[in-house]
Each structure stands twice: as C-alpha cells, then as structure tokens.
C-alpha cells in the first residue's frame, strides 16, 4: 500500500483562457514526471460541480471568470470545498489583492507568466501542507474532536467491524476516542466486545436534545480496558425507536466535546439521523465489497449523500473483501466508478475475526500483526490524516 505522497497530486485548474491553461499545463509537465494530474474548469459553476463529484488536492484559480469576478470566485471555491487548498493565479501584480485573497482563504497568490516550474511545484506542495495545518488548527480552536462516520453501501459488508477497529487503532496511538452506535434497533458492539452495558443510546433519547450534553453522554459511556469509550446501541426490543436529527446532532456534538476522535457506526438505510450525522462528519468512510452488486449499491448511497449535501470529496472508500473473491473488481475500476478516493483494503480474515469476537477484543488489538489488522490500522491513519491509497 502507498500513501498520497506516492501518487499524483490532483489539480483543478479554473481558467477560461486556453492560452494560459496550456502554459500552466506545460509548466507542470516540466516538473517531476507523473507528479500531477490536471483537470480543467472554465468557469466557477463548472469548478463547483467538479469539486462536488471528485477529490482534488489543490485548486489553481483565476480570479477573472465568465461567471464570477475577484474574491467572489475565491469564496465560491472555498465554500464548495473548504478542505481543499487554493492557489490564486492572477495576471495582476497587485499586492493589495494578494493580501485580500490570502486573508479570504487562499494559500498563495501567483502571477501568471512569472512562475517557473520549480516555484509552481513548491507553491502547490506548500499550499496543501498549509491547508492541512489550518484544518488541524481549526479543530483545536473549536475544541472539538475529529468526527468519522462509517456507513455500509449495503448491509453485511463489515461496517461495524471496521468502525470498532478504527476506533481501537486510534486508541493505540494514545488518543482519546469515543465510538458510538447511532442505530435505532439492536446494536452489535455488545456482541463484538462481549459487553452487557447497563445503559445505552436509548437512555439518551429519553432526554430532550437540549439536555443531551457532554456530562449526560459521558455518564452513558463504557470505558474498555484498552481505553476506548463506547456508547452502545439499544439492546432490548422495548428500547428500539427512531432517532431524530436533533438528537443525533446533540449527541455527536457532545461526543466531540469529550474525545479527540469520534467514530460513528451508522446503519445503511436512509434516515434523518443519518443525514444529520453525516453532515456533522469531517470524513465519511463508505464500506464496500469489491463486487459489482455492492458497487452499484455504493453509487446509490453516494447519490443519497450528495442529496444531503455531503459531497464526494468528503467520502473515502474502505474495501472489505470478506470471502476472498477471485473476481474482485480492480481498485482503479472501483475508484473510477464511485468517483471517491480509497483509503484501504481489508483482506479476508474470517478466523482471526472470529477469535477476536470470542475474546471481545477488536482485531487490531487481539492479533495486531495479522495482515487484516495492519491494513485496518493503516486505513485508519489515512482517514485521520487526510491521506489516500495509490491504486494505479
């Protein structure tokens, strides 16, 4: 497996002048071969659409476009993709505009025709690093944890197993982590962890959303020996019930006040609670099996997420090959079909997973040297740091 540093940087050039676009393309071609993958948009509306459907590392933005001018263009891009680095490309050597652009969210301001290949590459790399650092600072300033949501393209693909192992892998790095089952019916964390919780999610749903604060949530968390705090889903039939979006929002906010990382296990069907949860997530892990039926289900799920305002740039694919499919689809095919980046592949591990369940200890802790456990730890780190796999 390779990290994002080993794959081409995905660049979206927003430029309506064909001559300037060709010049920039030639500039990037003079850099390290294969380091950049460049795509074009001629106006702001095209750029916003591209950012909603594809993952980019950086946007190179002209501030004079057919449908937008000046800082309006910059704000349009930063609103559409707040986590993507932006480098402004301008024909104007205007220090005032440059300062305003950087203050409005751009990481750099370059003058067209005055940047050599080495300087362009350096600007792009530094812009990406600065944007990642900015995102981390914002998390610290907000005083809240990073929120990861996991949802399956369909049932039975291993979503709960991935969520529990991701949360446990983060705990192994001495991070404060809380995992929660946001499920209206029976939650299987208890089965996998061999726990019988005295209280669970249903007891929080008895409260008004305004009363679901950090102290109330903290009182219902179960602390496991390896450090993970868990909010279990309902355990009895009389505890089952739909979760309202206000409760989901309040719960996730409270968890983010408690922990550095919050891992949410979500059911695979549409609900207002799922919508509220995924809107609150910093990153969503979509769990898929590497077969055609599941990929088709994943397409539908991604369309649903987009209708909720969750763009594909915030979704990462986790592939779980549970039965060793000889006909498993290639990774590059899956990425192209879904339009999302892949963060990891979990190979078949039926016996290790059974042993982990019997012991009540997640696989990454029970058999940490197994291939599946190592892959789970790697994909978790990618999710936490914004990296992806190279699949070409």
Is 243 within the bounds of a domain? yes
Residue 33 has pLDDT above 70, yes or no: no
Cα dihedral: 95, 101, 104, 106 (round 10): -130
Of the candidates 318, 330, 309, the residue with the CA atom closest to the CA atom of residue 286: 318
pLDDT(192) > 80:
yes
Provide the token pair at 345: 């592949």
Q: What is the dihedral of CA 149, 150, 154, 159, to 10 degrees?
A: -150
pLDDT in tens, 239-260: 999 999 999 999 999 999 999 9
Same domain, 97 and 168: no
306 belongs to a structural domain: yes
Kind and range of the H or E run holding 261: strand 261-265
Question: Do residues 38 and 86 touch, judged by C-beta distance below 8 A?
Answer: no
Q: How many whole angstroms from its chain centre is CA 81?
A: 13
Number of domains present in the structure of the chain: 2
**Span 83-140, pLDDT tens digits:** 889 999 887 767 777 778 887 888 888 888 777 788 888 888 878 877 766 665 555 5
CA separation (Å) from 293 to 173, 289, 299, 323?
Answer: 36, 9, 10, 15
The tens digit of pLDDT for each residue in 308-345 reads 988 888 899 999 997 776 678 999 999 999 999 999 99
Residue 391 within any structural domain of the chain: no
**Residues near 286 by Cβ (< 8 Å), separated by ≥ 6?**
151, 152, 153, 298, 301, 302, 315, 316, 317, 318, 338, 340
Of 75, 102, 136, the residue that ends a domain is 136
Look at residues 311, 321, 262, 313 and name the one whose alpha carbon lies nearest to residue 287.
321
Instruction: Looking at the structure, tell me whether residues 153 and 107 fall in a common domain.
Output: no
Q: What is the CATH number of the domain that holds 51?
A: 3.40.50.2300
> Within this chain, do residues 59 and 192 fall inside the same structural domain, yes or no?
no
Return the pLDDT at 1.
Answer: 34
The enclosing domain of 361 has a CATH number of: 3.40.50.300
Is the domain of 195 the same as that of 262?
yes
**What's the chain's average pLDDT?**
88
> 199 and 265: one domain?
yes
pLDDT at 325 (0 to 100): 65
The domain in which residue 79 lies consists of: 4-136
């Amino acid at each position: 497996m390779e990290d994002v540093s080993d794959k081409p940087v995905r660049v979206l050039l927003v430029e309506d002048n064909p001559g300037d676009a060709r010049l920039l393309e030639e500039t990037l071609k003079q850099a390290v071969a294969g380091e950049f993958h460049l795509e074009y948009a001629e106006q702001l509306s095209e750029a916003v659409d591209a950012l909603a459907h594809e993952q980019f590392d950086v946007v190179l933005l002209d501030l004079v476009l057919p449908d937008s001018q000046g800082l309006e263009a910059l704000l349009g891009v930063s609103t559409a993709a707040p986590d993507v680095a932006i480098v402004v490309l301008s024909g104007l050597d205007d220090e005032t505009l440059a300062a305003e652009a950087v203050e409005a969210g751009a990481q750099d301001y370059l003058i067209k025709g005055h940047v050599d290949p080495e300087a362009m590459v350096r600007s792009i790399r530094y812009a990406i690093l600065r944007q990642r650092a900015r995102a981390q600072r914002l998390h610290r300033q907000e005083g809240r944890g990073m929120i990861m949501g996991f949802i399956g393209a369909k049932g039975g693909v291993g979503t709960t197993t991935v969520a529990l192992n991701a949360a446990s892998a983060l705990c192994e790095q001495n991070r404060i982590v809380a995992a929660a089952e946001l499920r209206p019916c029976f939650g299987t964390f208890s089965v996998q962890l061999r726990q019988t919780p005295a209280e669970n999610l249903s007891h929080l749903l008895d409260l008004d959303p305004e009363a679901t604060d950090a102290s109330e949530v903290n009182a219902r968390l179960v602390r496991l020996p390896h450090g993970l705090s868990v909010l279990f889903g309902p355990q009895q039939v009389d505890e089952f019930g739909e979760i309202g979006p206000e409760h989901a929002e309040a719960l996730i906010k409270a968890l983010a006040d408690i922990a550095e990382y919050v891992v949410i296990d979500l059911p695979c069907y549409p609900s207002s609670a799922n919508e509220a949860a995924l809107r609150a997530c910093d990153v969503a892990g979509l769990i898929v099996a590497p077969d055609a039926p599941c990929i088709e289900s994943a397409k539908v799920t991604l369309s649903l997420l987009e209708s909720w305002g969750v763009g594909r740039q915030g979704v990462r694919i986790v592939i779980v090959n549970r039965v060793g499919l000889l006909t498993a689809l290639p990774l590059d095919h899956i990425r192209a079909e879904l339009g999302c980046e892949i963060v990891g592949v979990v190979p078949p591990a039926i016996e290790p997973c059974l042993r982990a369940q019997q012991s009540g200890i997640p696989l990454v802790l029970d058999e940490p040297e197994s291939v599946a456990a190592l892959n789970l730890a790697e994909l978790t780190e990618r999710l936490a740091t914004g990296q992806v796999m190279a699949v070409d």
